[in-house]
Structure 1
Amino acid sequence: MKTFGGNWYRQAAIVAACLLPLCGQPAFAERIKDLASIQGVRNNQLIGYGIVVGLDNTGDQTTQTPFTTQAMGNMLSQLGINLTTEQATKLQLKNVAAVMVTAVMPPFSKPGQPIDITVSSMGNAKSLRGGTLLMTQLKGGDGQVYAVAQGNVLVGGVGASSGGSKVAVNHLSAGRVPGGATIERDVPTAVGQGGFIYYELANTDFGTVQNMVEAINRAISPGTARAVDGRRIAVRAPDDIDARVAFLGRLENLDVKPAVGSALVVINPRTGSVVMNQKVTLDPCAVAHGSLSVVVDAGNRATGQPADIQVTQANGSLMNVKAGANLADVVRALNALGANPLDLLAILQAMKAAGALRAELEVI
């Protein structure tokens, strides 16, 4: 009897130890900072036109890219080297490439702060590997200069060509310069309006908005947050900037359980990708699908051989598709059809038209 009791207590302790971590963790909860952003706190896109030099004969063919020689002439004139129009048009600099320089200026950026830049060829340069970007002004949407970029371009690829043969690994006409730009002007960013700040969800969802309002009011005090619409939440915040920053730091780490969205199937016909969420269901239906292929042989005109055209349609038997009450059942039913991803695109669209697919179809 003692042995039985000892074993029972031991088994109960093991089960309790296994269930304890599950009881302590919130189910499918996400932080507010992962679900929403503060209105007005945003990135700013910057763009500029620049020149990359120091290439190993992989730059622009300047006879086909006149803007490269024009940019080189303008740059040399600023350095005190003046070329005539005839001299500028005869430049053949295969180690120079015209590029577009882009960057993202984070919110609250201050002068002197470095940011990463992306350099992309806009001419016919074969590779930017080993090149150096010369000083380039980066402008915002208002035409003002917000950063200045310069540095060695890092290209994550390699290539070689000889005798008409060519080999390339990864993309060679674009690269990055880590910390290659320096902020010269900041963008004023207001955190909130008056006594409120506004959170904006990444996706419109009334259920998630309500859950977020309840989480904030429960953690701070009732009435602190209220829903404005299906995407925006107004939160009463302290007026003092130090207290407001601390308040926001506390809010963004609160856990919120996002509401489950509507049933959705996303289709990409270019790649044959099909993605569906957990709310997709199926009603019983019957499906028959057969692929049609057309093969055209142009023949040989020199020998008088005529063209040959063959049309083949694979047999497709009518199959009964069972109802699926959850995602696992839907996947099991679709796999039973034995269709490849491209055929599955047409089958899903036909199911939707027949009313058997309980989900929205979105083509990207």
Structure 2
Amino acid sequence: MMWRLVLFLICFALPVAAAPIRIKDLVDYDGVRGNDLVGYGLVVGLNGTGDSLRNSPFTEEIMANLLERLGVNVTGEMLRPKNVAAVFVTASLPAFARSGSQIDVTISAIGDAKSLLGGTLVMTPLNGADGEIYAVAQGTIIAAGISAEGQAARVVQGVPTSGSIPRGARVEREVEFDFNGLQTLRLALRNPDFTTAARIEATVNQAFGRIATLQDSGTVQLNLRGQSPAHLLANLENLLVEPETRARVVVDQRSGTIVMGEDVRISRVAVAQGNLTLRIEEAPQVVQPNPFSPGESIVVPRTGVRMQQDPGTGLAEVEGSTSLSQVVAGLNALGVAPYDMIDILKSIDAAGALHAEFLVR
């Protein structure tokens, strides 16, 4: 009955007609973007779950450098604590982030630490792609899992070697960008499509005059004509546009999931499907000599081979369809399991009867 559930979800997971969507949910604005940050730091306060410094010498090096900066001389000392771990710290600097604002950070162990639970990240500079420091992170880590072990068993849930610090980094440097001085601005479609881009152009021109120009399937350029970019976008991004997308059939072979787009169509086609099962069984038999007689035990192979051909669906006709519900009804009538349905869709596509982009993941 699983195939009925899958096709039922296909039928109702997608809207009957495309609904108007806000422009802000369809496009990104040229220049309005975040920037990735990365840093290398030290987590302290772990309950014996940190790096073993013999296997992670870089942890000892960063700990020694940190103590030296704090005025503690550890030259020649043998450091063997188990409550510290070396980590990478990553974050995304949002667009228009100002000095003093706070952002979230993610921490990931890079040594052989078993868990970051209960640890505290020591002040860590976060660098951008240009090598400049844009934020500094510090705080108590919220680990993403737990780990417990005894002498003969260990239980791990989630990923205890990774965690996060909400609002754990403070912005120290701003990205220079004169947004208010722009004379033109490009709208970049997240899903490029000529029809959707043309509709955005028409909607913007109808609302603000002829300021929008369609450049390609993924770009609409705005001529600001001296208007404030911020005020223009504040009014423009809430305009409604009905997006257009290509017909697609997306298949996940691992889980047997099939998702069909609204515009999928199938031409009239006949389908026959059957299953061939080949079963091989090994049952070796040990033959021993009689008691007190010369000889040795030998293993005699015993192999059984069976081949079974299931009756399958026979030759079934799938009528040409003009709507998604008719496509689902036609495929549903074949009465096969999801994995068999995936093979049938592949064959229909190869025959040229599936009028949609077929994507397998």
The TM-score normalised by the length of structure 2 is: 0.82
Quick one: distance in 1 between partners of 2:306 and 2:86? 49
Match of 1:248 in 2: 233
Quote the residue 2:263 is aligned against. 279
Q: How far 1:288 moved relative to its partner?
A: 1.1
Residues 238 and 102 of structure 1, relative CA distance in 2, 3 Å threshold: same
Instruction: Encode CA deviations 1:253-296: one digit per residue, 9 max, x unaligned.
Output: 1111112x221122333443332211112232213142657678
Give the CA deviation at 1:115.
0.3
Deviations 1:36-81 (A, max 9, x none): 1211111111111111111112222333222222222222222223
Q: Which residue of 2 aligns with 1:229?
A: 216
What is the aligned residue count?
332
CA shift for structure 1 position 126:
1.9
Contact 2:141 2:165 in 1 (8 A): yes
Q: Is the 8 A contact 2:44 2:122 kept in 1?
A: yes
Out of 128, 132, 140, the residue aligned to residue 144 of structure 1 is 132
Q: Find the aligned partners of 2:263 and 2:298 in 1 and give their Cα distance.
A: 61
Query: Are the aligned partners of 2:318 and 2:331 in contact in 1 as well (CA < 8 Å)?
Result: no
Tell whether the 8 Å contact from 1:40 to 1:190 is kept in structure 2 after alignment. no
Partner of 1:68: 59
Look up the match of 1:59: 50
User: Of the two structures, which has the highest relative contact order with CA contacts closer than 8 Å and spacing of 6 or more?
Assistant: 2
Q: What amino acid does structure 2 have at the position aligned with 1:272? A: G
Take 2:324 and 2:262, find their aligned partners in 1: how far apart are those partners?
A: 5
For 2:25, the equivalent position in structure 1 comes to: 34
Q: Which residue is 1:203 aligned to?
A: 191
In the alignment, the residues of structure 2 paired with residue 353 and residue 198 of structure 1 have an alpha-carbon distance, to the nearest angstrom, of 39
Q: Report what 1:18 is aligned to.
A: none
* Cross-structure match for 1:220: 208
**Which whole-Å CA distance do the structure 2 matches of 1:343 and 1:273 have between them?**
12
Change in Cα spacing, 1:328 to 1:115, as seen in structure 2 (3 Å) is: same
Cα distance in structure 1, aligned partners of 2:105 and 2:119: 14
Conserved? CA contact 1:224–1:236, under 8 Å:
yes
Question: Quick check: 1:320 aligned with 2:316?
Answer: yes
Amino acid in the other structure paired with 1:212? I
Aligned partner letter, 1:247: L
| Alpha-carbon offset, residue 319 of structure 1 | 4.2
Name the structure 1 match of 2:348.
351
Secondary structure of 1:173's counterpart equals strand
The one-letter code matched in structure 1 to 2:47 is D
Tell me which residue corresponds to 1:8: none
Is the strand fraction higher in 1 or 2? Answer: 2
**Distance change (3 Å), C-alpha of 1:309 and 1:158:** farther
Is the CA contact 1:40–1:192 (under 8 Å) kept in the aligned structure 2? no
Cα distance between partner residues in 2 of 1:136 and 1:113: 16
**Structure 1 pair 180/294, CA: closer, same or farther in 2 (3 Å)?**
farther
8 Å CA contact retained: 1:238, 1:244:
no
Equivalence for 1:124: 112
TM-score by length of 1: 0.81
Q: What fraction of aligned residue pairs are identical, expressed as a percent?
A: 38
Give the distance between the partners of 1:35 and 1:271, measured in 2 at CA: 29
Q: Secondary structure at the match of 1:215?
A: helix
Distance in 2 between residues matched to 1:300 and 1:237, nearest whole Å: 87
Q: Gaps (5+ residues) in structure 2?
A: 1-16, 287-296
Task: Indicate the structure with greater helix content.
Answer: 1
Farther-moved stretch of structure 1 (101-110 vs 123-132) = 123-132
1:298, 1:146 → 2: CA distance? 68
Displacement after TM superposition at 1:168 (Å)? 3.0
CA distance in 1: counterparts of 2:183 and 2:274, whole angstroms: 61
Correspondence for 1:333: 330
Aligned counterpart in structure 2 of residue 361 of structure 1, from 334, 358, 361? 358
Rounded to whole Å, the distance in 2 between the matches of 1:130 and 1:107 is 32
Go from structure 1 to structure 2 and tell me whether the alpha carbon gap of 1:238 and 1:344 turns closer, same or farther (over 3 Å shift).
Answer: same
Query: What is the CA–CA distance in structure 2 between the aligned matches of 1:275 and 1:303, rounded to whole Å?
Result: 56
RMSD after superposition: 2.9
Deviations 1:85-105 (A, max 9, x none): 5x45xx333222221111111
> Partner of 1:109 in structure 2?
97
Q: Distance in 1 between matches of 2:186 and 2:119?
A: 45
Give the gaps of 5 or more residues in structure 1. Answer: 1-25
Shift of 1:110: 1.2
Measure the CA separation in 2 of the matches of 1:303 and 1:96. Answer: 59
1:80 matched to 2:71? The reply is: yes
- Secondary structure class of the residue paired with 1:143: coil
